[in-house]
Amino acid sequence: MTSKFDFCPWLYWDHATDEDRRAQESHLAGLRARIAVEASEKVFVSPLAAVHADSLRMGDHSYIAAHAYVTDTLVMGDDCTLNPYAVARGRVVLGDAVRVGAHTSLLGFNHGVEPDRPVFRQPISSKGITIGDDVWIGSNVVVLDGVTIGAHAVVGAGAVVTKDVPAWAMVAGNPARPIRDRRTGSRPGGDLEGLLAAFADRARDQAEAVLARCWTGERYVDRPDAPPTVRAWCDAVEIADLLLGGPPPVPAREEIVAFLRDRQDPATGLIPEIGAPGSPERTPDQGGGGPEDSGGGPELEGVTAYHVLCAGYALDLLGTGFQHPVHAVHDLTGKDLTAALDALDWDREAWTSGSVVDAIGTGLYRNVAGFGLRGDLETLYGWLTTRCRPSHGMWGEPDSDAGWLMVVNGFYRLTRGTYAQFGLPLPYPERAVDTVLAHARDPRYFHGDTGNACNVLDVIHPLWLAGRQTAHRREEGEAWARRHLRRALGGWQDGAGLSFALTGGTGAARLPGLQGTEMWLAIIWLLADYLGLSGALGYRPRGIHRPEPPPGLEV
């Protein structure tokens, strides 16, 4: 038998009869008999709600309405509501005065999606959902595992919340993004949203011209008169996907796919540069043989290793993949992998060392996703976890000449190919943020007209990645991001794109080209997303800098 309190529980405390109260006390007693319940005297749980939690804690004047579905662990502070048909699963913690609308799902768990077994047989992980005080969540909202919603926030009806929501933010949409500040009513970023939208429109309008400028009729080059490179083809694919929503206009998609797939060395799975030993252009009498010719084992540094990233993701965007596994990575035993990582010069060459880990991590992914070859992921992550420095959250140490430059740059490369690519949490996110912000204040790299795409990327990606776990020093990080976002938005050159270095002077780094354009498009998205403004761009990276692990990659 239903009552008005099942669907309108807020009426219970003022309108319940003695009989209603006895029925509620009996129902709560039955709950306590089968699950761990810690509740104040002034709570209401509808008998029509499916409460199958391991533990339930409810504060004063909190209620669970009819047909709500509760499992695992739910903590509700005072004055909290779970309205009809709402769902709370996994570990969900609500502060005081949290209002959860009807048909909303708080999903504090997730399935793995590896390709080796059906999804329903995958292991389940749970980071949990935490919601601060005085939060209003509208109807038909979905909040995903790992999200923290700050105090006083408002989540609009129908939103899909995939990342943390700052305190006082009003968010809406799929994915949810800030629309205004609850305290002031101001839109986030002031005029930045308009600048972002205008930049993206300008870039989209000129994307075909930017690409045509770098097409020789036979090859892509980074800029006119530059030599042809594998990376130029990959940058063209990434730019076209971001701005045009598909492959480059020329040549035909099938020709681009054939060019990239045919360059892979079947013995190592690596992709040499155009004209280098082992490339299709070199005949055996010109010094054939693959990238492993040097006798020191497979080359996992430099441009050949970077091609594992850029060519692999370019092929993803074109709807295909490598012809061969990356044997240079898969063939490493746990012992060999550990020895290779130990042999890297982490104290003096942390950037190079981090790039090697990036290539290894990405090679492992390519083998899992394309060929079902798992490789030794456990050894890789075991090594990284035990070697990360708790004092600063990174690998390697600063030096008197370059400061934190090599360490922070290496951290970006290492974490991009491992923690970010596989969707795993950083070991010491707060300490990493401290280190990145210390580096971001170094006037040798970030002052006036200094700086380039690598240096800005190597700061914003770690801030963005760590920001998914912690709000530590967020205000300081956002101030840095706003400053560099405004500068980057002014760097577009009509018909040519962006240069690698947005500075005055001469030299190749200051000439617009495909590499600079591809990198800055991704950097601008990361800067904007860190500020909650990326929706204004109308594009979202799906290649090297995609903001979520590719399907089937979570470990």
- The residues carrying an active-site annotation are 111
Q: CA 333, 339, 344: angle at the middle one, nearest 5?
A: 130
CA dist 110 and 91 (Å) reads 11
DSSP secondary structure letters along 190-209: TTHHHHHHHHHHHHHHHHHH
The whole-angstrom distance between residue 152's C-alpha and the CA centroid of its chain comes to 25
CA dist 146 and 469 (Å) reads 8
Contact criterion met (CB below 8 Å) for 355 and 397:
no
CA dist 219 and 168 (Å) reads 51
Nearest alpha-carbon partner for 56 in 22, 89, 84, 85:
89
Is it true that the peptide bond before 462 is cis, omega within 30 degrees of 0? no
The strand pairing partners of 57, in sequence order, are 38, 75
DSSP secondary structure letters along 510-536: GSEEHHHHHHHHHHHHHHHHHTT-GGG
Q: What are the φ/ψ torsions at residue 52 (nearest 5 degrees)?
A: -125, 45
CA dist 273 and 305 (Å) reads 10
Contact criterion met (CB below 8 Å) for 44 and 60:
no
CA dist 341 and 352 (Å) reads 11
b/e for 1-36, b at 16 or more Cβ within 10 A? Answer: eebebbbebeebeeebeeeeeebbeebbeebeeeee
